[in-house]
Amino acid sequence: MSVSWGRRLLASVLSGVASAGLVHLAMLVAFWIADSSNPAIIGAAHQYFLSASLIAFVVVFAFGVFGLLDRWWGALVAGVAAGIIAPLAGTSLQVVTQGVPIDDTFVPSIAATLLTVNFGFLVAAVAVVSTVGRLVYRAVVGGGGTDEAPTRVALVRLPAKNLADGQTTHLERSPIDTDLADSQWDAYVAAFTEHGWTTQEVPYAERLADSVFVEDAVVVIDDLAIIARSGSEARRGETDGVEEVLTARGLDIERISNPGTLDGGDVLVVGKTVYVGRSSRTNADGIAQFRALLVARGFEVVAVPVTRALHLKSTVTALPDGTVIGRDDLVDEPRLFARFLPVPEREGVAVVALDPETLLMSAAAPETAELLRELGYDVVTVDISEFEKLEGCVTCLSVRLG
Protein backbone atom coordinates (compact mmCIF):
# COMPACT_ATOMS: atom_id res chain seq x y z
CA MET A 1 0.00 0.00 0.00
CA SER A 2 1.31 3.51 -0.82
CA VAL A 3 1.30 5.78 2.25
CA SER A 4 2.20 9.47 2.22
CA TRP A 5 5.21 10.57 4.24
CA GLY A 6 3.04 12.86 6.32
CA ARG A 7 0.75 10.01 7.33
CA ARG A 8 3.68 7.69 7.96
CA LEU A 9 5.41 10.28 10.18
CA LEU A 10 2.21 10.82 12.15
CA ALA A 11 1.73 7.07 12.53
CA SER A 12 5.34 6.69 13.68
CA VAL A 13 5.02 9.47 16.27
CA LEU A 14 1.76 8.15 17.69
CA SER A 15 3.00 4.58 17.74
CA GLY A 16 6.19 5.66 19.47
CA VAL A 17 4.29 7.71 22.06
CA ALA A 18 1.81 4.91 22.75
CA SER A 19 4.54 2.27 23.00
CA ALA A 20 6.96 4.26 25.15
CA GLY A 21 4.16 5.58 27.34
CA LEU A 22 2.69 2.15 28.03
CA VAL A 23 6.09 0.59 28.71
CA HIS A 24 6.93 3.44 31.10
CA LEU A 25 3.59 3.05 32.87
CA ALA A 26 4.08 -0.71 33.08
CA MET A 27 7.43 -0.23 34.83
CA LEU A 28 5.96 2.24 37.35
CA VAL A 29 3.15 -0.18 38.18
CA ALA A 30 5.56 -3.13 38.40
CA PHE A 31 7.87 -1.36 40.84
CA TRP A 32 4.93 -0.06 42.88
CA ILE A 33 3.59 -3.59 43.27
CA ALA A 34 7.04 -5.02 43.99
CA ASP A 35 7.58 -2.42 46.74
CA SER A 36 4.35 -3.29 48.55
CA SER A 37 2.41 -0.40 47.00
CA ASN A 38 4.79 2.19 48.37
CA PRO A 39 3.93 5.46 46.54
CA ALA A 40 7.45 6.78 47.04
CA ILE A 41 8.85 4.21 44.65
CA ILE A 42 6.87 5.67 41.74
CA GLY A 43 8.95 8.83 41.64
CA ALA A 44 12.20 6.89 41.77
CA ALA A 45 11.09 4.48 39.04
CA HIS A 46 9.92 7.38 36.88
CA GLN A 47 13.29 9.07 37.21
CA TYR A 48 15.17 5.87 36.46
CA PHE A 49 13.17 4.81 33.38
CA LEU A 50 12.48 8.25 31.89
CA SER A 51 15.59 8.25 29.68
CA ALA A 52 14.96 4.68 28.57
CA SER A 53 11.35 5.47 27.66
CA LEU A 54 12.38 8.49 25.60
CA ILE A 55 14.97 6.42 23.75
CA ALA A 56 12.37 3.69 23.20
CA PHE A 57 10.17 6.31 21.54
CA VAL A 58 13.01 7.18 19.15
CA VAL A 59 13.61 3.51 18.28
CA VAL A 60 9.94 2.81 17.59
CA PHE A 61 9.61 6.05 15.63
CA ALA A 62 12.56 5.07 13.43
CA PHE A 63 11.09 1.67 12.64
CA GLY A 64 7.79 3.34 11.79
CA VAL A 65 9.37 5.86 9.44
CA PHE A 66 10.76 2.99 7.39
CA GLY A 67 7.35 1.29 7.31
CA LEU A 68 8.47 -1.71 9.35
CA LEU A 69 5.77 -1.41 12.02
CA ASP A 70 3.19 -2.42 9.43
CA ARG A 71 4.58 -5.97 9.42
CA TRP A 72 4.38 -8.30 12.39
CA TRP A 73 8.04 -9.25 12.21
CA GLY A 74 9.10 -5.61 11.89
CA ALA A 75 7.11 -4.66 14.98
CA LEU A 76 8.58 -7.61 16.86
CA VAL A 77 12.12 -6.59 15.94
CA ALA A 78 11.30 -3.00 16.91
CA GLY A 79 10.12 -4.23 20.31
CA VAL A 80 13.29 -6.25 20.85
CA ALA A 81 15.47 -3.34 19.72
CA ALA A 82 13.65 -0.88 21.97
CA GLY A 83 13.74 -3.35 24.85
CA ILE A 84 17.53 -3.75 24.62
CA ILE A 85 18.85 -0.44 23.31
CA ALA A 86 16.64 1.91 25.33
CA PRO A 87 17.27 0.60 28.88
CA LEU A 88 20.99 0.06 28.25
CA ALA A 89 21.42 3.54 26.79
CA GLY A 90 19.20 5.11 29.46
CA THR A 91 21.04 3.43 32.32
CA SER A 92 24.42 4.31 30.78
CA LEU A 93 23.36 7.95 30.50
CA GLN A 94 22.27 8.09 34.12
CA VAL A 95 25.41 6.39 35.37
CA VAL A 96 27.69 8.72 33.38
CA THR A 97 25.85 11.87 34.49
CA GLN A 98 26.30 10.76 38.11
CA GLY A 99 30.06 10.81 37.63
CA VAL A 100 30.71 7.08 37.59
CA PRO A 101 33.95 6.48 35.69
CA ILE A 102 33.94 4.42 32.51
CA ASP A 103 36.33 1.54 33.03
CA ASP A 104 36.65 -2.12 32.11
CA THR A 105 33.69 -3.05 34.29
CA PHE A 106 31.34 -0.41 32.87
CA VAL A 107 29.95 -2.30 29.87
CA PRO A 108 29.52 -5.68 31.62
CA SER A 109 27.77 -4.05 34.55
CA ILE A 110 25.42 -2.11 32.30
CA ALA A 111 24.68 -5.22 30.22
CA ALA A 112 23.92 -7.17 33.38
CA THR A 113 21.01 -4.85 34.13
CA LEU A 114 19.05 -6.56 31.35
CA LEU A 115 18.84 -9.57 33.64
CA THR A 116 17.93 -7.53 36.70
CA VAL A 117 16.37 -4.10 36.97
CA ASN A 118 15.89 -3.63 33.19
CA PHE A 119 14.54 -7.09 32.44
CA GLY A 120 10.96 -5.95 32.94
CA PHE A 121 11.51 -3.10 30.48
CA LEU A 122 12.72 -5.56 27.85
CA VAL A 123 9.70 -7.83 28.29
CA ALA A 124 7.24 -4.92 28.31
CA ALA A 125 8.77 -3.32 25.21
CA VAL A 126 8.58 -6.53 23.17
CA ALA A 127 4.96 -7.14 24.20
CA VAL A 128 3.73 -3.56 23.78
CA VAL A 129 5.48 -2.57 20.54
CA SER A 130 4.55 -5.77 18.71
CA THR A 131 0.88 -5.37 19.66
CA VAL A 132 -0.27 -1.89 20.65
CA GLY A 133 2.47 -0.08 18.76
CA ARG A 134 1.70 -1.93 15.56
CA LEU A 135 -2.06 -1.52 15.94
CA VAL A 136 -1.70 2.25 16.41
CA TYR A 137 0.59 2.49 13.39
CA ARG A 138 -1.75 0.49 11.16
CA ALA A 139 -4.78 2.45 12.31
CA VAL A 140 -3.18 5.76 11.34
CA VAL A 141 -1.86 4.65 7.96
CA GLY A 142 -5.36 3.49 7.13
CA GLY A 143 -5.35 -0.16 8.12
CA GLY A 144 -4.49 -1.11 4.56
CA GLY A 145 -1.04 -2.43 5.25
CA THR A 146 -0.67 -6.15 5.56
CA ASP A 147 1.90 -8.59 6.78
CA GLU A 148 2.37 -9.61 3.20
CA ALA A 149 0.76 -9.05 -0.15
CA PRO A 150 -2.91 -9.91 -0.26
CA THR A 151 -3.31 -13.59 -0.92
CA ARG A 152 -3.62 -14.29 -4.63
CA VAL A 153 -4.39 -17.88 -5.52
CA ALA A 154 -4.25 -19.50 -8.93
CA LEU A 155 -6.10 -22.79 -9.28
CA VAL A 156 -4.43 -25.08 -11.79
CA ARG A 157 -4.87 -28.66 -12.94
CA LEU A 158 -2.27 -31.11 -14.23
CA PRO A 159 -2.57 -32.03 -17.91
CA ALA A 160 -4.44 -35.30 -18.40
CA LYS A 161 -2.62 -38.31 -19.81
CA ASN A 162 -4.81 -38.13 -22.90
CA LEU A 163 -4.20 -34.41 -23.48
CA ALA A 164 -3.50 -35.13 -27.15
CA ASP A 165 -7.18 -36.10 -27.54
CA GLY A 166 -8.34 -32.61 -26.57
CA GLN A 167 -11.01 -30.98 -28.70
CA THR A 168 -10.40 -28.48 -31.49
CA THR A 169 -13.05 -26.47 -33.29
CA HIS A 170 -11.43 -23.57 -35.17
CA LEU A 171 -7.90 -24.92 -35.67
CA GLU A 172 -6.57 -27.84 -37.68
CA ARG A 173 -5.49 -30.67 -35.38
CA SER A 174 -1.73 -30.88 -34.82
CA PRO A 175 0.32 -33.53 -33.01
CA ILE A 176 0.77 -32.82 -29.29
CA ASP A 177 4.07 -33.44 -27.56
CA THR A 178 2.76 -34.38 -24.12
CA ASP A 179 6.19 -34.34 -22.47
CA LEU A 180 6.76 -30.83 -23.75
CA ALA A 181 3.26 -29.85 -22.60
CA ASP A 182 4.07 -31.07 -19.09
CA SER A 183 7.24 -28.96 -18.93
CA GLN A 184 5.40 -25.95 -20.35
CA TRP A 185 2.70 -26.35 -17.71
CA ASP A 186 5.38 -26.42 -15.01
CA ALA A 187 6.86 -23.18 -16.34
CA TYR A 188 3.42 -21.59 -16.49
CA VAL A 189 2.74 -22.44 -12.84
CA ALA A 190 6.21 -21.24 -11.86
CA ALA A 191 5.49 -17.83 -13.39
CA PHE A 192 2.69 -17.35 -10.87
CA THR A 193 4.73 -18.42 -7.86
CA GLU A 194 7.64 -16.22 -8.94
CA HIS A 195 5.30 -13.22 -8.85
CA GLY A 196 3.83 -13.78 -5.42
CA TRP A 197 0.90 -16.06 -6.20
CA THR A 198 -0.01 -19.22 -4.37
CA THR A 199 -0.91 -22.03 -6.74
CA GLN A 200 -3.32 -24.79 -5.77
CA GLU A 201 -3.90 -27.90 -7.84
CA VAL A 202 -7.47 -29.06 -8.21
CA PRO A 203 -8.01 -32.84 -8.34
CA TYR A 204 -6.40 -34.50 -11.32
CA ALA A 205 -8.79 -35.66 -14.05
CA GLU A 206 -6.80 -38.41 -15.75
CA ARG A 207 -9.31 -39.23 -18.50
CA LEU A 208 -10.66 -35.75 -19.24
CA ALA A 209 -8.44 -34.55 -22.06
CA ASP A 210 -9.33 -30.84 -21.84
CA SER A 211 -9.36 -30.65 -18.04
CA VAL A 212 -6.08 -28.71 -17.94
CA PHE A 213 -8.11 -25.75 -19.22
CA VAL A 214 -9.52 -25.35 -15.73
CA GLU A 215 -10.89 -21.86 -16.29
CA ASP A 216 -13.70 -23.23 -18.43
CA ALA A 217 -15.20 -25.09 -15.45
CA VAL A 218 -16.06 -22.07 -13.33
CA VAL A 219 -16.36 -18.30 -13.19
CA VAL A 220 -15.18 -16.68 -9.97
CA ILE A 221 -16.12 -13.06 -9.30
CA ASP A 222 -15.42 -11.70 -5.82
CA ASP A 223 -16.74 -14.35 -3.41
CA LEU A 224 -19.09 -15.94 -5.94
CA ALA A 225 -18.23 -19.09 -7.89
CA ILE A 226 -20.55 -19.91 -10.79
CA ILE A 227 -20.09 -23.54 -11.80
CA ALA A 228 -20.20 -23.72 -15.58
CA ARG A 229 -22.07 -26.16 -17.79
CA SER A 230 -20.11 -26.58 -21.00
CA GLY A 231 -21.72 -26.69 -24.39
CA SER A 232 -19.51 -29.73 -24.93
CA GLU A 233 -21.02 -32.67 -23.07
CA ALA A 234 -17.63 -34.37 -22.94
CA ARG A 235 -16.32 -31.56 -20.75
CA ARG A 236 -19.07 -31.37 -18.14
CA GLY A 237 -17.32 -33.79 -15.81
CA GLU A 238 -14.49 -31.28 -15.32
CA THR A 239 -16.45 -29.24 -12.79
CA ASP A 240 -16.49 -31.79 -9.95
CA GLY A 241 -13.00 -31.33 -8.59
CA VAL A 242 -13.12 -27.57 -9.11
CA GLU A 243 -16.34 -27.22 -7.14
CA GLU A 244 -14.85 -29.19 -4.25
CA VAL A 245 -11.91 -26.82 -3.97
CA LEU A 246 -14.01 -23.67 -4.17
CA THR A 247 -16.50 -24.97 -1.62
CA ALA A 248 -13.62 -25.70 0.75
CA ARG A 249 -12.38 -22.14 0.28
CA GLY A 250 -15.74 -20.82 1.44
CA LEU A 251 -17.00 -19.27 -1.80
CA ASP A 252 -20.70 -18.94 -2.53
CA ILE A 253 -21.60 -21.54 -5.13
CA GLU A 254 -24.13 -21.07 -7.93
CA ARG A 255 -24.61 -23.18 -11.06
CA ILE A 256 -25.64 -22.83 -14.67
CA SER A 257 -28.43 -25.36 -15.15
CA ASN A 258 -30.01 -27.15 -18.11
CA PRO A 259 -30.81 -25.99 -20.77
CA GLY A 260 -28.22 -23.28 -20.21
CA THR A 261 -24.59 -23.76 -21.22
CA LEU A 262 -21.59 -21.61 -20.36
CA ASP A 263 -17.81 -21.99 -20.44
CA GLY A 264 -15.62 -19.89 -18.17
CA GLY A 265 -13.46 -18.99 -21.17
CA ASP A 266 -16.40 -16.98 -22.48
CA VAL A 267 -16.38 -14.57 -19.51
CA LEU A 268 -14.26 -11.43 -19.30
CA VAL A 269 -14.50 -9.21 -16.22
CA VAL A 270 -13.54 -5.54 -16.59
CA GLY A 271 -14.33 -3.71 -13.37
CA LYS A 272 -18.07 -3.87 -12.79
CA THR A 273 -18.75 -4.81 -16.42
CA VAL A 274 -18.78 -8.50 -17.32
CA TYR A 275 -18.62 -9.48 -20.98
CA VAL A 276 -19.93 -12.94 -21.81
CA GLY A 277 -19.46 -14.53 -25.19
CA ARG A 278 -22.30 -16.16 -27.12
CA SER A 279 -20.19 -18.94 -28.59
CA SER A 280 -20.45 -22.60 -29.55
CA ARG A 281 -19.95 -23.40 -25.85
CA THR A 282 -22.19 -20.74 -24.27
CA ASN A 283 -25.84 -20.34 -25.27
CA ALA A 284 -28.48 -17.67 -24.75
CA ASP A 285 -30.09 -19.45 -21.80
CA GLY A 286 -26.72 -19.75 -20.09
CA ILE A 287 -26.12 -16.02 -20.59
CA ALA A 288 -29.55 -15.24 -19.16
CA GLN A 289 -28.86 -17.31 -16.03
CA PHE A 290 -25.43 -15.77 -15.70
CA ARG A 291 -26.83 -12.25 -16.06
CA ALA A 292 -29.46 -12.86 -13.39
CA LEU A 293 -26.80 -13.96 -10.90
CA LEU A 294 -24.52 -10.99 -11.51
CA VAL A 295 -26.97 -8.14 -11.99
CA ALA A 296 -28.29 -8.92 -8.51
CA ARG A 297 -24.75 -8.26 -7.24
CA GLY A 298 -24.35 -4.92 -8.97
CA PHE A 299 -22.59 -5.97 -12.18
CA GLU A 300 -23.48 -5.07 -15.74
CA VAL A 301 -23.47 -8.05 -18.11
CA VAL A 302 -22.81 -7.43 -21.79
CA ALA A 303 -23.36 -10.28 -24.26
CA VAL A 304 -20.83 -10.51 -27.10
CA PRO A 305 -21.17 -12.60 -30.27
CA VAL A 306 -18.28 -15.03 -30.79
CA THR A 307 -18.22 -16.82 -34.14
CA ARG A 308 -14.55 -16.75 -35.18
CA ALA A 309 -12.90 -18.55 -32.26
CA LEU A 310 -13.68 -21.04 -29.53
CA HIS A 311 -14.21 -18.61 -26.63
CA LEU A 312 -14.53 -14.91 -26.00
CA LYS A 313 -11.11 -14.92 -24.33
CA SER A 314 -9.68 -16.59 -27.41
CA THR A 315 -10.39 -13.22 -29.06
CA VAL A 316 -10.01 -10.56 -26.34
CA THR A 317 -8.75 -10.00 -22.82
CA ALA A 318 -8.27 -6.86 -20.75
CA LEU A 319 -5.29 -4.91 -19.46
CA PRO A 320 -5.27 -3.81 -15.81
CA ASP A 321 -6.42 -0.31 -16.83
CA GLY A 322 -9.56 -1.76 -18.42
CA THR A 323 -8.46 -1.52 -22.05
CA VAL A 324 -9.65 -4.56 -24.01
CA ILE A 325 -7.09 -5.97 -26.44
CA GLY A 326 -7.80 -8.31 -29.33
CA ARG A 327 -7.34 -9.19 -32.97
CA ASP A 328 -9.59 -7.40 -35.45
CA ASP A 329 -10.00 -10.56 -37.51
CA LEU A 330 -11.20 -12.54 -34.46
CA VAL A 331 -13.55 -10.03 -32.86
CA ASP A 332 -17.10 -9.96 -34.19
CA GLU A 333 -18.07 -6.58 -32.72
CA PRO A 334 -15.27 -4.47 -31.14
CA ARG A 335 -17.68 -1.55 -30.65
CA LEU A 336 -19.20 -3.38 -27.68
CA PHE A 337 -16.06 -2.65 -25.66
CA ALA A 338 -15.55 0.76 -24.06
CA ARG A 339 -11.85 0.85 -25.06
CA PHE A 340 -10.47 -1.54 -27.67
CA LEU A 341 -6.83 -1.88 -28.75
CA PRO A 342 -5.95 -4.15 -31.69
CA VAL A 343 -2.85 -6.31 -31.29
CA PRO A 344 -0.70 -7.68 -34.14
CA GLU A 345 -0.68 -11.41 -33.32
CA ARG A 346 -3.36 -14.01 -32.71
CA GLU A 347 -1.46 -15.42 -29.71
CA GLY A 348 -1.22 -11.90 -28.24
CA VAL A 349 -4.92 -11.48 -27.49
CA ALA A 350 -4.65 -13.29 -24.13
CA VAL A 351 -2.96 -11.75 -21.11
CA VAL A 352 -3.17 -12.44 -17.39
CA ALA A 353 -2.47 -9.59 -14.98
CA LEU A 354 -0.03 -10.96 -12.40
CA ASP A 355 -0.24 -7.57 -10.68
CA PRO A 356 -1.24 -4.06 -11.84
CA GLU A 357 2.07 -3.62 -13.66
CA THR A 358 2.91 -7.15 -14.82
CA LEU A 359 1.33 -9.17 -17.62
CA LEU A 360 1.72 -12.86 -18.39
CA MET A 361 1.33 -13.82 -22.04
CA SER A 362 2.38 -16.30 -24.70
CA ALA A 363 5.96 -16.28 -25.96
CA ALA A 364 4.49 -16.72 -29.47
CA ALA A 365 3.51 -13.04 -29.67
CA PRO A 366 6.74 -10.98 -29.46
CA GLU A 367 5.31 -7.97 -31.32
CA THR A 368 2.37 -7.76 -28.96
CA ALA A 369 4.70 -8.15 -25.99
CA GLU A 370 6.75 -5.19 -27.22
CA LEU A 371 3.59 -3.14 -27.76
CA LEU A 372 2.52 -3.77 -24.18
CA ARG A 373 5.98 -2.92 -22.88
CA GLU A 374 5.73 0.36 -24.73
CA LEU A 375 2.50 0.98 -22.80
CA GLY A 376 4.46 0.71 -19.55
CA TYR A 377 3.83 -2.89 -18.54
CA ASP A 378 6.34 -5.50 -17.47
CA VAL A 379 5.71 -8.52 -19.68
CA VAL A 380 6.45 -12.11 -18.67
CA THR A 381 6.24 -14.64 -21.50
CA VAL A 382 5.78 -18.39 -21.34
CA ASP A 383 5.89 -20.98 -24.10
CA ILE A 384 2.51 -22.75 -24.24
CA SER A 385 2.68 -23.94 -27.83
CA GLU A 386 1.25 -27.41 -27.10
CA PHE A 387 -1.82 -25.91 -25.41
CA GLU A 388 -2.27 -23.35 -28.17
CA LYS A 389 -2.61 -26.25 -30.62
CA LEU A 390 -5.75 -27.14 -28.61
CA GLU A 391 -7.05 -23.55 -28.74
CA GLY A 392 -5.81 -22.88 -25.23
CA CYS A 393 -4.12 -19.73 -23.93
CA VAL A 394 -2.64 -18.26 -20.75
CA THR A 395 -6.04 -17.40 -19.29
CA CYS A 396 -7.70 -20.80 -19.52
CA LEU A 397 -4.90 -22.70 -17.78
CA SER A 398 -5.80 -21.21 -14.39
CA VAL A 399 -8.58 -19.73 -12.28
CA ARG A 400 -7.35 -16.63 -10.49
CA LEU A 401 -8.69 -15.82 -7.04
CA GLY A 402 -7.98 -12.52 -5.32
Res. 320: pLDDT tops 50 = yes
Does residue 32 or residue 281 have the better pLDDT? 281
Nearest Cα neighbor of 324 from 301, 342, 310 is: 342
The reply to whether CATH 3.75.10.10 applies to domain 153-401 is yes
pLDDT band at 341 (very low <50, low <70, confident <90, very high): very high
247-277 residue pLDDT tens: 999 999 999 999 999 999 999 999 999 999 9
Sign of CA dihedral 336, 338, 342, 348: negative
Domain range summary for the chain, segments of one domain joined by +: 5-141, 153-401
Q: Where in the sequence numbering do the catalytic residues fall?
A: 311, 396
Alpha carbons 29 and 145: distance in angstroms, whole number: 33
Q: If we measure between CA atoms, which residue out of 381, 378, 372, 382 comes closest to residue 358?
A: 378
pLDDT tier for residue 389 given thresholds of 50, 70 and 90: very high
Instruction: Give pLDDT, residue 142.
Output: 61
Split at pLDDT 50, 70, 90, the class of 15 is very high
The pLDDT assigned to 71 comes to 80
Q: What is the spatial distance between Cα 70 and Cα 371, in angstroms, rounded to a whole number?
A: 37
Q: Is the confidence at residue 228, as pLDDT, over 90?
A: yes
pLDDT of 379 above 50: yes
Residue 60: strand, helix, or coil: helix
Edge to edge, the sheet with strand 252-255 lists 218-221, 224-227, 252-255
At residue 8 the predicted structure's pLDDT band, cuts being 50, 70 and 90, is: confident
**Mean pLDDT computed over every residue of the chain:** 93
Question: pLDDT tier at 302 (50, 70, 90 boundaries)?
Answer: very high
**283 pLDDT higher than 80:** yes
% of the chain with per-residue pLDDT over 90: 82
Whether residue 356 contacts residue 320, with contact meaning beta carbons closer than 8 Å, is answered with: yes
The pLDDT of residue 238 is 97
Name every residue whose Cβ is closer than 8 Å to that of residue 28 and which is 6 or more positions away in sequence: 42, 45, 46, 49
Other CB atoms within 10 A of residue 332 CB: 15
pLDDT confidence of residue 144:
44
| Whole-number Å distance between alpha carbons of 225 and 250 | 10
Parallel, antiparallel, or unpaired: how do β-strands 218-221 and 224-227 relate? Answer: antiparallel
Residue 105, φ and ψ in degrees, nearest 5: -90, -5
Mean pLDDT of 227-252: 95
Q: Which pLDDT band holds residue 223 (cuts at 50, 70, 90)?
A: very high
pLDDT of residue 146: 42
Residue 263 — left, alpha, or beta (φ > 0 → left; ψ -120 to 50 → alpha)? beta
The pLDDT confidence band at residue 70, using thresholds 50, 70 and 90, is confident
pLDDT tens, position by position, 356-376: 999 999 999 999 999 999 999
pLDDT per residue as tens digits for the range 112-166:
988 998 999 999 999 999 999 999 998 887 644 444 445 799 999 999 999 999 9
